[in-house]
């Protein structure tokens, strides 16, 4: 792991390190004071390049970093932090973004769980609408931009209630029919990562990969429980627990929309974020039949005890009736 910068260090004669606010295997994220613009706080995302990589590959990776940083700097959306600068020092590259104050949604969810309650569906859907705005904007760029690491901890709510999708660490830029290299190598966070993203940079991902992570994030926020990851679901379908069996206050419509977004195969998901938003919030939602089905006895076994027993009892009565008719 790279040795982090110390508080008080100044980069490029402008950015004075305040403290670390995030850390990973390839670098850290720092809170810094902008000495040129008094009173402005910014977030510095650091990427340390692998010293063992051949020099020609390192040069190519750095050129790619600068190309993509240039694109990110052109983005302008209220639900995204503004990228204002980028530079390199030694073998480390830096991306400078607006610092976003407030709590991330993972922290808010954990506080709700500690209080033995859930975040309200109304609040979660309000945040979901703002996230949909940000993703629609990213996906509509030319070429489209994928975030690839949507999760509760990457969503911050400012004191004014504005949601910001932070951390561009796994951003990808889609060329027609293919996927280009990432700014930071990685596959996202397993709990929210679709199967096709497990292939790393060689796997084909598109806007539906972000939609899967969007749905998994809503599942976690509404239930206080992370969903079984895609690989586990593929190997063991029974590992997936229906959201309403954990939190019965979730509306059937919201549950159906989340199940649709979390389809294991991309073809089983909404084709766009806007289509997913309509399934959650639109006046005339259209959700495919498999996700509009009535609850089955198999589903009922995953419900809370009092509701589960009612369905099991009904199933036993029907089974008894069938056996009687067969005698």
Q: Which residues are marked as active site?
A: 149
Sign of CA dihedral 124, 128, 129, 130: positive
Nearest to 51 by CA among 92, 15, 10, 89: 92
3-class secondary structure for 259-300?
HHHCCCCHHHCCCCHHHHHHHHHCCCCCCCHHHCCCCCHHHH
Tracing tokens 């104050």 back to the chain, one arrives at 101
Neighbours of 14 (CB within 10 A): 16
Q: Cβ(42)–Cβ(12) under 8 Å? A: no
Q: Cβ(118)–Cβ(223) under 8 Å? A: yes
The tokens of 307 are what? 């509701």
How many whole angstroms separate alpha carbon 156 and alpha carbon 138?
Answer: 17
The tokens of 190 are what? 């397993």
Tracing tokens 């919201």 back to the chain, one arrives at 254
How many whole angstroms separate alpha carbon 187 and alpha carbon 252?
Answer: 31
> 85-99: buried (b, 16+ CB within 10 Å) or exposed (e) per residue?
bbbeeeebbbbbbbb
The tokens of 208 are what? 């539906």
* Sheet of strand 163-165, all strands in order from the earlier edge strand to the far edge: 103-104, 155-157, 163-165
Q: Cβ(61)–Cβ(51) under 8 Å? A: no
């Amino acid at each position: 792991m790279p040795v982090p910068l110390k508080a008080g260090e100044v980069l490029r004669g402008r950015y004075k390190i305040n403290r670390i606010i995030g850390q990973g295997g390839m670098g850290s994220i720092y809170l810094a004071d902008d000495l040129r613009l008094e009173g402005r706080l910014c977030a510095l995302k650091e990427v340390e390049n692998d010293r063992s990589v051949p020099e020609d590959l390192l040069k190519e990776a750095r050129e790619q970093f600068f190309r993509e940083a240039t694109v990110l700097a052109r983005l302008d959306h209220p639900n995204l932090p503004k990228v204002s600068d980028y530079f390199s020092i030694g073998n480390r590259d830096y991306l400078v973004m607006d610092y976003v104050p407030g709590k991330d949604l993972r922290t808010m969810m954990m506080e709700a769980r500690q209080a033995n309650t859930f975040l309200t569906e109304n609040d979660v859907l309000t945040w979901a609408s703002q996230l949909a705005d940000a993703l629609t904007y990213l996906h509509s760029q030319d070429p489209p931009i994928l975030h690839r690491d949507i999760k509760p901890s990457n969503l911050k709510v400012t004191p004014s209630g504005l949601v910001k999708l932070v951390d561009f660490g796994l951003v990808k830029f889609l060329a027609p029919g293919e996927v280009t290299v990432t700014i930071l190598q990685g596959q996202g966070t397993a709990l929210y990562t679709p199967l096709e993203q497990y292939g790393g940079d060689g796997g084909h991902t598109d806007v539906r990969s972000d939609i899967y992570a969007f749905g998994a994030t809503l599942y976690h926020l509404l239930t206080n429980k992370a969903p079984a990851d895609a690989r586990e679901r593929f190997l063991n379908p029974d590992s997936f627990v229906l959201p309403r069996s954990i939190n019965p206050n979730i509306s059937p419509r919201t549950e159906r929309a989340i199940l649709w977004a979390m389809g294991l195969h991309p073809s089983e998901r909404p084709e766009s974020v806007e289509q997913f938003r309509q399934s959650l919030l639109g006046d005339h939602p259209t959700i495919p039949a498999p996700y509009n089905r009535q609850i089955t006895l198999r589903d009922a076994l995953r419900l809370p005890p009092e509701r589960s027993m009612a369905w099991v009892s009904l199933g036993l009565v029907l089974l008894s009736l069938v056996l009687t008719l067969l005698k």
